[in-house]
Amino acid sequence: MCVGIPLCIVSAEGTNAIARNGVRTEALDLALTGPLEPGTWVLSFLGAAREVITSDEARLITDALAGLERVIAGEELGDAFADIEARGPVLPPHLAEALAAGQTEG
C-alpha cells in the first residue's frame, strides 16, 4: 500500500525538488505536477509529487496520519479525524446522485 505524505517544497529546479514537513526531508520528482515554487505543499508518493494541496489539507492529512500511528501503537485516536467527525460521512458525487435517484443497490 502506498500512503501519501504531505511535504512542502523547499527548493526546486525544473522537475526536481527538495521538500520537507518537519519530520522528513526528501528529494521529489515534479514530473506529474510541473515546476513548483518554494512554499508549495504537495502530496508525495514514493518520491514523486502527485498533487498540489493547500497548507490546510496538509495539516489535516498530517493529523490523520499521526492519529493512525497512535492507534497502531495502542494509544487513543484523539482528535485526528475531528474534521470528518464534525461533518459526518460524505458520498462521492456519483454515489450521491445514485442515492438521490433511488438507486440503493449496485
For 5-39, write each residue's pLDDT tens digit: 999 999 999 999 999 998 899 999 999 999 999 99
Q: How far apart are the first and last CA of the chain?
A: 27
Give residue 92's pLDDT: 86
Give residue 52's pLDDT: 97
**DSSP summary character for residue 93:** H
E-only strand ranges, the chain: 5-13, 16-20, 25-29, 41-45, 48-53
Give residue 106's pLDDT: 64
Domain boundaries, the chain: 5-87
For 62, left (φ over 0), alpha (ψ -120 to 50), or beta?
Answer: alpha
17 DSSP β-pair partners: 12, 28
Give residue 90's pLDDT: 83
Question: Domain 5-87 maps to which CATH number in 2.30.30.140, 3.40.50.1980, 2.60.120.480, 3.40.640.10?
Answer: 2.30.30.140
